[in-house]
Chains A and B, each alone.
Chain A
Amino acid sequence: MAFLEMIDIVKRFPGVLANDHVNLAVEQGEIHAVMGENGAGKSTLMAILYGLHAPDEGYIRLDGKTEIFRSPIDAIERGVGMVHQSFKLFESLTVWENIVYRREPRRGLFIDAKAAQRQVAELAARYGLPIDPIARVGTLPVGVRQRLEILKALYRHARILILDEPTAVLTPGEAVSLFEVIRNLAVNGCTVLLVTHKLNEVMAVSDRITVLRDGKVTDRLVTAETNPTEIVRAMTGRNVLLQVGKTARPAGEIRLEVKHLVVDGRNRRAVDDVSFALRSGEILGIAGVAGNGQSELVEAIVGLWPTDGGAILVDGKDVTALPIAGRRDAGMSYIAEDRSRTASAGTASAMDNLALGFHRRRPIAVHGLLNLREMRGWARTLIRKFDIRIAGETTPVGTLSGGNLQKIVIARELAHDAPVLIAEQPTRGVDVGAIEFIHAELVAERDRGHAILLVSAELSEIMALSDRIIVMFEGRIVASLTRAEADEATLGLYMAGGRKEAA
């Protein structure tokens, strides 16, 4: 009998069978990867393990005992810890305060700060997770915050640690040290469940893999005996091309020009004197670790965030003073990074989501009134063209998996046929099949002579798609390279702040 077993787990959501008799067995001290496309059911499975959802059928057996977790409190009690994609930390408090929260060592009525700090330091040393217990969380880089999240779980005696897409926010260097931490945890007897899309990570760090598709387990693999192709086949049921077919093509005239742009963020200068030009028929990639000013740069270009200096020109026309609608009219469309918060309304239907931006123009609107038949037809056309898996055009898009929701966003933004497309993290959290599709669409868009600004924290994506690459670090452009000059090592160096003379 395995250390942790999830047995015949069934979980239904309205209209969806998220987990269909899923079995998962994990040994103590094992690093077990849970893989699958978006909507395959891996998040649901992990949510059940962490007590966030109750299964409709099936049960969990942990260390020989049958368990029902009614809440994360139950799960934590039994030694299950989870590090979410978005960290749950008090930024204004120190490291040790975050770690001991609700389990504070006490002396009388007061928290024993000295003891707490000592415990945290000991814990950090034992698991090889160097951290300064008295640092304020708000001042720490993302990689260290993640370490802190792991320590928080370990402080609560986690024997099983669930890591949900842990490398999404990390630099390549930080990711490597995370893998060391994971291995170290396993050596110390901690069981790690790694939820991820990234094949290379799974190959590098896991012992075994459980692959889900459409709520069912499609394969159980031993990492040492498998290869990425086999995993992809189990995830998608077919062989997926991992490269993008793209021919060299001369760039045309300048479509988007950014001159000495300055943007102040919430409490610091986020974009500092950034200039570049984007030409028709090219994809310009902006590489950089998340949080180095890329979001602010993009939001300033599209008009979601005010600028504090410099100019933005579309086809030679200064749009710096224009509102969002004016910039869109000037020829910009925008695939926003956060598809559920910015680029869609989850409770609205696909029809409503796909019509935004077209709702004041013919044929959808005539004299300010909507032609609902046109609107429906428009939605159906896009759903078909982009192969969006959705029950119907009246279905709210909040029910869709990440990949399908992203297709809604991309379908709408590409339909604008705008000469400048800003694609921000277009494949984040999207499954392999959808990534392939989205990449092909972006390349087709470029081949039609449109100009694409691609912002991605994913180096492989930048490398696969871009004709030119610029690297942002702390709000500045630290390098500008042609595709031929760029390789993963060089870009990684610039992304980490290693500065050379910018071209």
Chain B
Amino acid sequence: MSAFAGLMRTTKLPQWVGSLLPVFWAVIVGFAVCGAIAGTVGLSPLLMLTELIKGAVEGPQIFETVARAVPLVGMALAAAMPLRAGIVNLGTDGQLVLGGCVAAIIALYLPAPDGVRIVLALITGTLVGGAYAALAAAGEIYARVPLLVSTWLMSYPAKGLCGWLVHAPLADPLVAWPSTRRIPLGTRLEHLIPGTPINDGFLLIAFAAILIVFLDRRSSVGYELRLRGLNERFARYGGVAIDRQTFWLMFASGAMAGLIGAVLVLGSQYRFTDGALTAPQYTWSGTLAALLAGGEPLGAIIAAVLFAALQTGGFAMERSVEIPRVLTMVLESIVILFLAMRGAIWRRR
């Protein structure tokens, strides 16, 4: 983890170049290796590359990529915020599910006008996700339960509880898969560009992303986070209230995950279905993106968008020319491994 962080910090170029350069090289090497693999089994590396890129950006595919990037960027930021200060939230999965579940319940059952319901659903989903992560922080502050353990383990009861809710009391009897009833039209997020899967959630996440990058670079709070990530003892020595910071940081991270859950439920899934939020593994890809950037938010965003493009490109490639999608996962892992390796090399010097 710190290897990635070291990687991002040893560069002397402007910060954004520093965030991009290693990713760029890693992608080049990743493509080369995947091309070689494809070549040895008789598939054309060039075809693979062009189909992958076309599948990610050509025509309407670009909207698919953007739609996939929305939750991925959000989860990357949820993981990156604590990582910036050197602490870890491994429970974004649970916070995501809680946020989505609570949003669905509010949207379905709160007796209020549509507009109020949708706003409250988003806010409550966000707050519940945040509160759940903050609970883990409180556990570390008051009872010394390591966040690494508590966030991870607290995911299971969260997922279990929401799963039970849609299995029994809130289940829609008309569908086979355990889920809530469909959220009525008026309480859904509207499509931002008609005919595409991009909805108002894009604006919310874009706003959150810009805010986080800005605060990271320009605010006293961001400064304290960054310094803590570089040397926690130094931050403490200088008067940073570490415990309070941990608490609010975890809250922010969980809130981001909860917001993503709410946005996915209200904007594309239209019901809370057991397992549907975690199945695409946004959490996992998002955490990897955050790790790659060492918690630096802009780097995490770039990595998350890249992953989204790879994933949609991979699906399209598989559909159109039957090159197995697993190759894009190989590509993803090589990119990550290569970046990690460079980090270690840089550190040794």
Contact = CB atoms under 8 A, between A and B. Distances in A.
A304 B237 CA distance: 7
B238 interface: yes
A441 to B, nearest CB: 20
Interface string B229-254: 01101111111110000000000000
A319 B267 CA distance: 52
Contact of B218 (A341, A357, A372): A372
B220 A346 contact: no
B223 A370 contact: yes
A304 B240 CA distance: 11
A324 B236 contact: yes
Given A343-B234, A368-B220, A368-B221, A352 B227 contact: yes
Contacts of B18: none
A347 B227 contact: no
Interface residues of B, number: 22
A342 B220 CA distance: 20
B196 interface: no
Given A346-B231, A347-B6, A372-B218, A324 B223 contact: no
Contacts of B221: 368
Contact of B238 (A356, A370, A372, A396): A356
Interface in A345-364: 345-348, 352, 355-357, 359-360
Contacts of B240: 325
A334 B238 CA distance: 9
A345 B231 contact: yes
B229 to A, nearest CB: 9
B230 A336 contact: no
A343 B237 contact: yes
B3 to A, nearest CB: 13
B44 interface: no
A317 to B, nearest CB: 17
Contacts of A334: 237
B224 interface: yes
A357 B223 CA distance: 11
B234 A356 contact: yes
Contacts, number: 69
Given A355-B223, A369-B220, A372-B218, A348 B239 contact: no
A370 B220 contact: yes
B281 interface: no
A32 interface: no
B185 to A, nearest CB: 41
Interface in A368-412: 368-370, 372, 396
A323 B233 contact: no
Contact of A345 (B6, B10, B218, B230): B230
A236 to B, nearest CB: 30
B230 A370 contact: no
A173 B281 CA distance: 65
B167 interface: no
Interface in B98-125: none
Contacts of A344: 231, 234
Contact of B220 (A302, A336, A341, A365): A365
Interface in A309-352: 323-325, 328, 334, 336, 341-348, 352
Contacts of A328: 239
A56 to B, nearest CB: 13
B231 A359 contact: no
Nearest to B222: A370
Contacts of A336: 237
Contacts of A355: 223
A328 B10 CA distance: 32
Interface in B24-72: none
Given A356-B227, A356-B234, 5 more contacts: A345-B230, A347-B231, A352-B223, A369-B218, A369-B220
The 9 A-B pairs with the shortest beta carbon distances in the complex, nearest first, are: A325-B239, A356-B238, A345-B231, A345-B230, A345-B234, A365-B220, A324-B239, A360-B220, A348-B230
Interface of B: 6, 9-10, 218-221, 223-224, 226-227, 230-231, 233-241
Interface of A: 302, 304, 323-325, 328, 334, 336, 341-348, 352, 355-357, 359-360, 365, 368-370, 372, 396
18 contacts: A302-B237, A304-B236, A304-B237, A324-B237, A328-B239, A336-B237, A341-B233, A343-B234, A343-B237, A345-B227, A345-B234, A346-B231, A347-B230, A348-B226, A348-B230, A360-B220, A370-B219, A370-B223
